[in-house]
Structures are given as structure tokens and as C-alpha cells.
Amino acid sequence: MYKFLKNKLFSFLIVSLLFSCGFKEKIHKRTTISMGTIVEIQVVTNDVTLADKAIDSAFAEVQRINDKYTVYNKNSYLNQINSSDTFQLDEETYFLFKKCEYYHNLTKGAFDPAIGNVIKALGFEDSPGQEIPVDSIRNFIQHNNWKLIQLTDDRKIVKPKEVRINFGAIAKGYAVDRMFDILKSFGLKVFLVNAGGEIKCTGKIWEIGIQHPRDKAKIIGILKIKDLSVATSGDYERYKIKNGKRINHIINPITGKISDECSSVTIITENTIDADALATAIFVLGPKDGLYLLEKIPKCEAFIIDSSGNIFKTKGIDKFYVAN
């Protein structure tokens, strides 16, 4: 389980900026590059000066989170943890670790940020990687998984020194939530934050198109979202082609195999950090087991496309979804 951030394609397109509302205010839009993707903020306001101050603060925050938790800088805060067997965590990082622990337990291991060494060995970070037999991957995971991590009440992490954490399936969602809170603190009322397909919006209904996993120019349907978050995991985000077969970047931590039951999983929920984690976990679990889990989670909906192009939906998704 790992969602690769670098050079990630958009999981979503903003099809229509706002749902036919006839705003008197203008849409102020800016973008930046961070966390290996395009980060876009759209604000509906006539006070461009205020919007720019708020967006500057939000962009500074996403870059701070990127620098702190990147695996590409050996001196980053996360890599200091990775090179230690015992580490005193700050409050923010402890929150992220507890969130990971929650989803690891909820999904019975389908969500596992502690298999960073496996992902790196397979070449889904910054190196070509190597072909590793499934049995060897499974054995590798036995020595690199979340069950080997202990979190103490005084915010310490205790783990084997070689176990390597990667927040790729949760950090971007967390960053979107933080940017959202910053924009709100400036008094802005109508805005949208989009970090490479991880989206949170407020104020009015925003229309968000679900991208076809095999045709990036095609929109399958539209989500009409207000005061909610959306996140997608897809096998088109980061993959290799081997013998004509698509090999995606999302590893099943339980079996050691590539997760290939789904081609796209879209989650709607209140906070983006949760949507981000669940999108990856459900991609690993597959449509049947994924829907079974999701029906137990309140205020959470999903739109799933399996590897054969079949569509699976939670019971409440039609409140938001319109077929294209």
C-alpha cells in the first residue's frame, strides 16, 4: 500500500467551477507545485488582496508539510524517524501516526504505510527498482510492516530501525485539510483546494468530474460536492507496462501482490485525510470487500471502477453523482 506522489497525474478534473450560481464575485485561481503534483486553489471573492494573502499562507503550509515528510530528502523529519529505532514524535506527526494506526486496524492491514522498503525496492520511488518474486515480497513484508511499530502514550515511536515509513497515502490529504483550514481562518467563505485530485471545497456546490481510468480526456460522471472532501486512487497514477500488462504502484501488504482488482476508487467524506487513506485501502481490498467495509463507515461514499470497467457504488453515492 502506497500512493506515489511524484509525477502523479490528476485523478480529477474540475469540470465546471461552480454549479450555475450566477456569482457576482469573481473566481480567483492560483496554482503551485508541491508534493510532486499541481496544487490549485480557487476562491470566489472580490477581495483579491485578501485571497492572495490566504493562498500564500496555504501554499507555504503545503510546502512545509512536503519538506517535513518527504522521503526524497535524507534529512527530512520523516527520514530521521526512518533511521531510528526510537523517536520522540511531535504532536503533528503523532496525529498522523495514530491516523495510520487507525486505518491499518480498520482495514485489517490493507492500509500499511510501513512497507516503504518494499515500494522502494520495486522501483516506485526514485530508483529503477527490480523484479521481485511474490514469495520474496511476502517475506520482505514480514520484516517491514505496521505490526512491528509501537506508539506510546508519551508520543514515542518504537520500531526496528530498518522499517521505513512512507506517508504517501495520507500526507497529501492531510495537507489539503490544513490548507482548507488556513483559507477559512482568513474569513473566506467560498473556495476549493485541489492537490492532484485530493479535493476539499466549501460555500457552494462544486462540480467535479470523475476521470475515465483508461481515457484521461473522458469524464465518466460528475460529483456535485459542497462542504466535503474527495480523493481518488487509480492504477493510471503511477504504473509500469510489462509484457503488455499494466503494473500499478499499489501493493497489497497482506498478499505481497500488486493490487489489480480496481482501476479507480473515489471516496467522498468529511476530511481529505480520511478520503485519501480510504481510497488507497479500498483499492487494495477490491470492490466487494471494499464496499462491505465502507457500508459500516458513516458519512462515507464511494465510486469504484474495477479492472474490467464495471462500476460499483455505495448506497448513498447517488446523492452526489450524475452520470455523464
| Model pLDDT for residues 110-146, shown as the tens digit of each residue | 999 998 877 666 665 555 445 666 666 777 778 889 9
**Is the confidence at residue 223, as pLDDT, over 90?**
yes
How far apart are alpha carbons 134 and 125 in whole angstroms? 19
pLDDT tens digits, 224-272 = 999 999 999 887 665 555 555 555 567 888 877 777 889 899 999 999 9
Choose between 21 and 228: higher pLDDT. 228
pLDDT tens-digit series, residues 52-80: 999 999 999 999 999 999 999 999 999 99
7 pLDDT higher than 80: no
Name which residue leads in pLDDT, 274 or 26: 274
DSSP per-residue codes, 267-305: EEES-HHHHHHHHHHHHHH-HHHHHHHHTTSTT-EEEEE
pLDDT exceeds 60 at position 8: no
pLDDT of 122: 65
The per-residue pLDDT of the chain, averaged, comes to 86
Asked whether residue 214 carries a pLDDT value surpassing 90, the answer given is no
Q: For position 146, what pLDDT does the model report?
A: 95
Q: What is the pLDDT of residues 273-299, one digit of tens each?
A: 999 999 999 999 999 999 999 999 999
Percent above pLDDT 70 for the chain: 83
- Residue 179's pLDDT is what? 98
At 126 the pLDDT is 57
> How far is C-alpha 273 from the chain's CA centre?
7
Q: Domains of the chain (ranges plus CATH)? A: 1-324 (3.10.520.10)
Q: Tell me the residue ranges of DSSP E strands in the chain.
A: 12-16, 26-34, 37-45, 86-88, 150-151, 156-158, 191-195, 198-202, 206-212, 215-225, 228-234, 239-242, 245-248, 262-269, 301-306, 311-313, 321-323
Q: How confident is the model at residue 85 (pLDDT cuts 50, 70, 90)?
A: very high
Instruction: Please state the rounded mean pLDDT for residues 72-97.
Output: 97
Sorting pLDDT into bands at 50, 70 and 90, what band is 306? very high
Can you say how many angstroms the Cα of residue 123 is from the centroid of all Cα atoms in its chain? 20
pTM of the predicted model as reported, rounded to 2 decimal places: 0.88
Other Cβ atoms less than 10 A from the Cβ of 165: the count is 24
Residue 314 in grid coordinates = 455505495
Asked if residues 298 and 120 have their Cβ atoms less than 8 Å apart, the reply is no
Q: Are 148 and 114 in contact (CB under 8 A)?
A: yes
DSSP line for 201-244 = EESS-EEEEEEETTEEEEEEEEEEESSEEEEEEETTSSEEEETT
Cell matching residue 150: 509501537
Q: Which pLDDT value is given to residue 143?
A: 81
**Other C-beta atoms lying within 10 Å of the C-beta of residue 197:** 25
Residues belonging to the chain: 324
